[in-house]
Amino acid sequence: MAARHAKGALVLLVVAAQACASAVPAPETNTPSDSAPPAGPLTWHVDVDAAFVVSETVCPALAVGPEQRRARDFLVSARVVDGCQEIVLDLGRAADTWQDRDSATRVAPDVVVSSPDVWLWRPMPKRSGTLTLSLPPGFNAALPFPKHGDSYDVDASTWAFASAAVFGNVSMRELPVDAATLQVVMLPGELQMVRSEVDRWLSAAATAVAAGNRGRFPFPKVVVVVDPVWGSGVPFGMVERGGGPQALLLLGAQARVDDVVDDWVAVHELSHLLMPPVGVDDAWLGEGLASYHQNVLRARAGLLSESEAWDQLRDGFDRGEEAAARGPLTQSLADASRHMRAEGRYLQVYWGGAAVVLLLDVGLRQCAGIAVDDVVASFRAEQLRVDVRRIPARAFVARAAAAAPGCAHLQYDVDEALTRPFPLVEPLLRDLGIVPASATAPLARLRRVIVAKAP
C-alpha cells in the first residue's frame, strides 16, 4: 500500500439501485441445508438491470450469504427457483446509506463503489465456480477474475482476499505492456492528463516492475483503476488480490505526465505483485520489499539515475529512523510491524523493512551470488501451484539463509535487525559508498550492480 496523506482500501465498483425513500425489509431466506453441498459445477449469474438492482442466481441451490452480514439489510428477496438460489439486492440504497468504500458508496449517478463481500454471495461451505454477467446497454464490467469466453473463474482467493471490480458507465481499455495486459478503468472525473499520457505513466510503472522479474510482468493481466482526485500528484495506491490482481491508483486532476511518469507510488503498488501475499503481522517484509523496489526498480528501468535511487532510499531510511525514535523506546521493528495499522507505524515499518531487505540483498549477493529478487521469484513460482496462503516472513528469511552454506548468518542478521526499533544500516551504507559518497568504497561495485539498468 502507498499513500502520501491517507490510508484506504481498494474497493469494488458496482452500478447499483437508485436510493429508495424507505427501507425494504429483508425477507426470510429460503436456503437449503449446507450439511451436504449439491453435486455439480457451481455457477453464479449476476444481472445488473436498467433499474440498477442486482439480481444474483447461484446454481445449484446452496446456503449462501454475504461476507459482510449487514448486506442482508438491503436484501429485496431470496428464494429457491428451479433448483437455484436467487438473491435480489438493492445495492444502490446500500451505497447511499453507507457511503463507505470498504462496503459500498456511490461515486457518480451511475457508478457505485462496493466490495464483493456485499454483492457476490458466497456458498457455505465455500466453493469455487464460474460467474457470468448481464449488463444494460452502455455499461461496462471489469472484474479481477480470469475470463474464459463469456464467463469468469471464481476461485478460493475470492474468499480469502479483498477484490475490486467495476460495473457501469466508465471508460475502460486494454493497455499492452510486454506480454501482459493492464485493463485500465477510468473513474468519472476531470484530468489534465490525456489518455496517452495516462498510458505512458502506467506503462512506465509496469515496465519498471518487470525489471524485478527478469523483464516480465508477474501476471498476464491486472485491472488498474484510476480515480481522479484533487491535486497534482499520485497521493494514494493499493493492490488487492481477491480473485486476481487489481490496483487502485488515485491521480491528481492537475497532474502532468512529466510529474508522475517517474513517481514511486504506481511502482510501489505494482511491485507488490512480485511476491505472494505476506502474513499480516509481517508487514515489514511485504511493505519493505515494495519500498525497496520502488527505488531500485525505477533505476533499473531508467526512471531514476543510480545516485537518485540511492539518495531516495537513504532519505527513506532517515525518515523511518526518525519515526521509530518517536515511538516507544522498547518497541522493536517486529512489534511495530504487528501493530502498524493500529498505531500508525507506517514510516517505521515501511523503511525499516526496506533496510532489512537491503541487508538481505547485499548478503545474498555476497554469500550466494543471487539477489533477493531470486528468493521472491521462488515463492511466486510456488504460489501458482498451491491454494491461497500467506507467506510468513520467517519462511522467506529461512529460504534466503539456505541459499548457500555461507548464507546461514542471514537468519541471525535479520533476527537482530528486527529486535531494534530501526535496523543498524549505516555501516552498510558506508561500505556501499552511499554515506559518504565514495567510488572506492568496499562494496561500490555491488552498489552499481543492484541498480544497473536491465539489459
Q: How confident is the model over 260-281, as pLDDT tens digits?
A: 999 999 999 999 999 999 999 9
Confidence of residue 44 (pLDDT cuts 50, 70, 90): very high
The predicted structure's pLDDT at residue 330: 77
Average pLDDT, the chain: 89
The pLDDT-based confidence of 22 (bands split at 50, 70, 90) is very low
Domain boundaries, the chain: 43-168, 171-274, 280-450
Question: What stretches of 61-194 show up as alpha helix (H) in DSSP?
Answer: 91-98, 116-119, 157-160
pLDDT at 47 over 70: yes
pLDDT tens by residue, 54-94:
999 999 998 999 988 999 999 999 999 999 999 999 988 89
DSSP 13: B
Per-residue pLDDT, 280: 94
Q: Any idea what DSSP says for residue 152? A: E
Hey, do 43-168 and 171-274 end up sharing a CATH topology, with the first three levels equal? Answer: no
The secondary structure element, H or E, covering residue 199 is: helix 195-210
The backbone torsions φ and ψ at residue 176, rounded to the nearest 5 degrees and listed phi first, read -75, 135
Assess whether pLDDT exceeds 60 at residue 205.
yes
Provide the CATH topology of domain 43-168.
Immunoglobulin-like (2.60.40)
Q: What's the mean pLDDT in 372-385? A: 90
First to last CA, the chain: 29
- Given the candidates 3.40.50.720, 3.40.605.10, 3.40.50.1220, 1.10.390.10, the CATH classification of the domain at 171-274 is 1.10.390.10
pLDDT of residue 90: 93
Confidence band for 371, pLDDT divided at 50, 70 and 90: very high
H or E element that contains 223: strand 221-229
**26 pLDDT more than 80:** no
* pLDDT at 237 (0 to 100): 96
Contact between residue 65 and residue 114 where contact means Cβ atoms under 8 Å apart: no
Answer whether 429's CB lies under 8 Å from 374's CB: no
Cα radius of gyration (the chain):
23
Give mean pLDDT, residues 443-453.
Answer: 95
| Ramachandran class of 28: left when φ > 0, alpha when ψ lies in -120 to 50, beta otherwise | beta
For the chain, percent of residues with pLDDT exceeding 90: 72
13 has pLDDT over 90: no
pTM: 0.90
- Band of the pLDDT at 106, cuts 50, 70, 90? confident
**What is the pLDDT at residue 324?**
95
- Rounded mean pLDDT of 115-132? 90
CA 424 to chain centre: 29
Question: Grid coordinates in use for 232?
Answer: 497534482
pLDDT at 116: 85
- What span, in angstroms and rounded, lies between the C-alpha atoms of 83 and 95? 30
* Strand duo 180-186 + 171-177: pairing: antiparallel
